[in-house]
Amino acid sequence: MTEEAIIRKLVADGDGTGDDRRILHLFHVTNKIVILLDQIEFSFRKQQQIAQAMNCERENYEKLYEEIGNLLNKNQEKMEEVKKQLAEAKQVKKNQQEYDNIAKMIKEKPSRAETTKKLKILQDELEEAYSKQKILEQKLIEKRESISTLAALLDELDETNKEQVEDVLMAEVEEGPVAPPPTNNKPNTNGEKVRNELEM
C-alpha cells in the first residue's frame, strides 16, 4: 500500500481506532525518526566538515609555524652575517684610516732622493769645512814657526845690541861716572816679547 493510499484511507476513516490509526501513528513516528536521522546525519556531516576544516586549518598552521621558524632561522643567519660584515667593514675602515695617516706622514716627509741629496750636500759642506780647518791649522803652524824664527833672530839681535851697549858703558865708566839706565817692566828682549804675544 502506497503512502497516498494510506492517507486517503485515514481521511475516509476519520478518527477511527482501527489498524489504520496505528499505521498513521507509526507513520508519524517514522517521519520523526527519519527527520531526526536526517538532522543527525546533517549534524554528523557538519561536524565532519568542521573536523576536516579544523584539521586542514591545523595543517596550515603547522606549515605556517614551520615556515615562520625557517624564516626566523634564515633571518638569524642573515643577522649574524650582517654583524660579521659590519665588523669587517669597521676593521677595513680602521685600516684605511691608519693607511691614510701613514701615507700622509710619508708624504710630509722628504723623499729618499731628497734626503740623499741633502745628506750629500751636508757631507760636501762638512768636507769643505774640514779642508778649510786643515788649511788654517797648517797656516797657523807655519805662522808659529815663522814667529819662532823671528823671535830667535830678535834674540840674537838683542844679544848683539846688549854687547854693544855694555862696551859703550864700559868705555864711559873708564871716562867718568854715568847714570844707571832706567828700569821698566818690559820684557828683557824683543824675542821674549814676541813669544809672550804668541802664547797669548
Between helix 3-13 and helix 19-108 the angle, nearest 10°, is: 130
Dihedral sign, Cα of residue 92, residue 96, residue 99, residue 105 = negative
Task: State the pLDDT at residue 147.
Answer: 82
pLDDT confidence band for 180 (50 / 70 / 90): very low
What per-residue confidence (pLDDT) applies to 92? 92
Which residue in this structure is represented by grid cell 814667529? 147
For residue 22, give the DSSP letter. Answer: H
Let me know: does 150 contact 157? Beta carbons within 8 Å.
no
What does the alpha-carbon distance between residue 53 and residue 57 come to, in Å, rounded to a whole number? 6
Nearest to 193 by CA among 157, 142, 140: 157
What average pLDDT does the segment 61-78 reach?
90
Its pTM stands at: 0.33
Report the pLDDT value the prediction gives residue 189, as an integer from 0 to 100.
Answer: 53
**Does the pLDDT value for residue 187 go beyond 50?**
no
pLDDT at 151: 78
**176 phi and psi, to 5 degrees?**
170, 170
Mean pLDDT of 143-157: 81
Cell numbers at residue 186, please?
A: 818690559
pLDDT above 70: percentage of residues in the chain: 70
For residue range 99-110, list pLDDT tens digits in order.
Answer: 888 888 877 776
Q: What is the pLDDT of residue 176?
A: 53
Supply the pLDDT for residue 68.
92
Q: Give exposure, 42-80, as e/b (b: 16+ Cβ within 10 Å).
A: eeeeeeeeeeeeeeeeeeeeeeeeeeeeeeeeeeeeeee
Q: Does pLDDT of 160 surpass 80? A: no
What is residue 178's predicted lDDT score, i.e. its pLDDT? 45
**Residues 6+ away with beta carbon under 8 Å from 191:** 151, 152, 153, 154, 155, 158
pLDDT confidence bin for 25, thresholds 50/70/90 = confident
Do 28 and 45 form a contact (C-beta atoms < 8 A)? no
For the chain, give the number of residues.
200
| Contact present, 194 and 150 (Cβ < 8 Å) | yes
- Give me the pLDDT at residue 183, please: 44
Task: Please state, rounded to an integer, the average pLDDT across all residues of the chain.
Answer: 77
In this predicted structure, the answer to whether residue 184 has a pLDDT above a threshold of 70 is no
